[in-house]
Structure 1
């Protein structure tokens, strides 16, 4: 079984989640169970699926959970765009988050390819 905490991809995604929690604290209270909750769940899904995939026994199974994490990076990116368009946060605040999301997605894709090429 793999230790998810040793993966740089997981470490980056974990830090991203903490940043998104901080930013979403400033969303309107009316969004606590709406957009704030949705963006947090999408972001949390990224490192969570890496961790869950590490508990699987085959590279192919692990790669499937990385697929889900990749999808969650896309969802999180869109929700950040929406939060900016709705005026809940600024383009400046999400620029760094988007850079981190892009790095995370890139690393997830590379790891997935490596896993699937081992089979």
Structure 2
């Protein structure tokens, strides 16, 4: 499959699904958390696919790898909030466990994508005879 847009990337699609799951999870949190942890979780979650998209739109592999790294940082932030929500019993553990599993999958994909971007130099054209 040829990647013509960031929307063709499986990691972006899974990042979007993760963000949607976080939105659904935050609806289950107590109302008093709406402007506390809920907002931070949503910002971190939406930052993951947004940075994948922005990196893909950049002109160089180095820039792309940089934005993938930012996405990984946002993902780590989200995982920290999810663990805190679980620790404080702010949401059912089944819900947080599901979202954490999604986050771990996206994290593995981001790690693999960044490794490919950093290690594989772009193909150079054949020299003219």
| TM-score of the superposed pair, with normalisation by structure 2 | 0.87
* Match 1:78 to one of 58, 77, 80: 80
More relative contact order, 1 or 2 (CA 8 Å, 6+ apart):
1
Unpaired runs of at least 5, structure 2: 122-129
**Cross-structure match for 2:48:** 46
Q: How does 1:1-119 map to 2 (within 5 A)?
A: 3-119=5-121
Is the Cα contact below 8 Å between 1:47 and 1:69 reproduced in 2?
A: yes
Structure 1 runs, 4 residues or longer, greater than 6 Å off: none
| TM-score of the superposed pair, with normalisation by structure 1 | 0.94
* Higher Cα radius of gyration: 2
Is the Cα contact below 8 Å between 1:2 and 1:55 reproduced in 2?
A: no
Is the Cα contact below 8 Å between 1:13 and 1:46 reproduced in 2?
A: yes
Alpha carbons of 1:116 and 1:2: their partners in 2 closer, same or farther (altered >3 Å)?
Answer: farther
Is the Cα contact below 8 Å between 1:2 and 1:54 reproduced in 2?
A: no
Q: Match of 2:35, SS?
A: coil
Matched residue count: 119
Unpaired runs of at least 5, structure 1: none
